[in-house]
Amino acid sequence: MKDVITLHINGDEVEVGVSTHFTLLETLRYALGLTGSKQGCDKGDCGACTVLLDGQPHLACIMPVYEAIGRRITTVEGLAEGRVPHPLQDAFDLCGAAQCGFCTPGILCSAYGLLAQNVDPSRDEIRRALSGNLCRCTGYTKIFEAVEIAAESLRTGADPRDIVAERYDLAFPSSSMQPAEHTAVSSTGASDA
């Protein structure tokens, strides 16, 4: 069975054709081409598919798409405002919190949900907020650090680059921390596919 439904995604209202058994994740990835949200397990164990519904983190891989109708859906593609990355997104790069990057979109959504409610979380509160998102690369330390830096940026208005430069007393912060919109391109971002 197929159906056409309307969803509110990243500020857009979109009509999309779906199989009626589709999950929200299948709809995002395969019907809308929003491939930022990842599938790691397809059964709600890993958290790579986490998106925000009305500002709250949810697992898109076990949510029937019909449950998302009428709700404000935000994916990793919708976290940034315009060209400037969200402080969380910038801090993740500046801190080395994204290694393979596969869990990153889900973790960012969980962290975004946390910071929307608590802009000064303790490390323990961050641990708890991210406990539904598995990361296999980092051991989480750099992720906690990135969330703390993003929180500080949101609280104080300081640029995450300056916070990092100060924290580590960097010798060449101005140019080694170049503006995010000018960052280098690698093959991972420029697939010909």
Partner 1 sequence: MRNEDLLPLQEVTADAPERLREVAEAEFRTIGGRNRTTDGLFKSTGKAIYTDDITFPGMLHAKILRSTEPHAKILSIDPAKALALPGVYDVITGKELPTPYGIIPWTPDEHALAVGKVRFVGDAVACVAAVDEETAVAALELIEVEYERLPYYLDPEEALAEVAAENPIHEPRKPGRNGNVLKRVQLEFGPVDEKMVKADVLVEGEYLFHGTTHTPIEPHCAISRMNQNGLLEVWSATQVPHYLQREIARVLGLDVAKVRVVQPAVGGAFGGKSEPFDLEFCVALLAVRTGRPVKILYTREEVFYSHRGRHPMKMTYRVGASRDGRILAVDAKTILDGGAYASFGLVTTYYSGQLLTAPYEIDSYRFDSTRVYTNKAPCGPKRGHGSVQPRFAFEISLDKVAEELDLDPIEFRRGVFMGTGRTVNEFRVQSNGFLECLESVEKASGWRDKFRKMGYGRGIGVAGSCYISGTNYPIYPNPMPQAAVQVQVERSGRVTVLHGASEIGQGSDSTMAYIACEELGVPLDYVRVFSADTDLVPVDLGAYSSRETVMVGNACVMACRQIGEQVRGSVASEWGLEPSRVRLAGGWAFDSGDPDSPEGRMPIAQAFQLAEAGHGTLGAVGHYNTPKEGVHGEYRGGTIGASPAYSFTAHVAEVEVDPDSGFVEVKTIWVAHDCGRALNPMLVEGQIEGSAYMGCAEAILEEQTYKTGEHQGALHDAPSLLDYRIPTSLDCPEFVPLIVESIDPEGPYGAKEAGEGPLHPSLPAIANAIYDAIGIRIDSLPFTPDRVWRAIRDAEAAKSAEEVA
| Interactions with partner 1, residue window 123-142 (CB under 8 A) | 126-128, 130-142
Among 20, 43, 117, 120, binds partner 1 (CB under 8 A): 43
Give the nearest distance from C-beta 164 to partner 1 in angstroms. 7
The residue among 20 and 70 lying less far from partner 1, judged by its C-beta, is 20
Does 104 engage in binding with partner 1 (CB under 8 A)? yes
Does 151 engage in binding with partner 1 (CB under 8 A)? no
Contact segment (CB under 8 A) with partner 1 among 1-9, 64-72, 122-130, 151-159 equals 122-130
- The one-letter amino acid code at 56 reads Q
Among 6, 20, 118, 176, binds partner 1 (CB under 8 A): 176
Which tokens is 175 given?
């140019």
Give the nearest distance from C-beta 77 to partner 1 in angstroms. 5
Residues 155 and 167: their CA atoms lie apart, in Å, by 16
The residue among 63 and 74 lying less far from partner 1, judged by its C-beta, is 74
Pairing of strands 2-9, 56-59: unpaired
Pairing of strands 72-74, 2-9: parallel
- Using H for helix, E for strand and C for coil, what is the string for 13-44? EEEEEEECCCEHHHHHHHHCCCCCCCCCCCCC
CB atoms within 10 A of CB 64: 14
Specify the residue for token string 């949810």.
58
**How distant is the alpha carbon of residue 91 from its chain centre?**
12
Among 8, 101, 125, 159, binds partner 1 (CB under 8 A): 101
Contact segment (CB under 8 A) with partner 1 among 1-9, 62-70, 151-159, 181-189 equals 181-189
Give the nearest distance from C-beta 156 to partner 1 in angstroms. 21
Nearest CA to 40 out of 50, 28, 53 is that of 50
In the region spanning residues 59 to 88, those forming contacts with partner 1, defined by CB under 8 A, are: 75-77, 79-80, 85, 88
Does 190 engage in binding with partner 1 (CB under 8 A)? yes
Nearest CA to 107 out of 129, 91, 124 is that of 129
Give the nearest distance from C-beta 54 to partner 1 in angstroms. 20
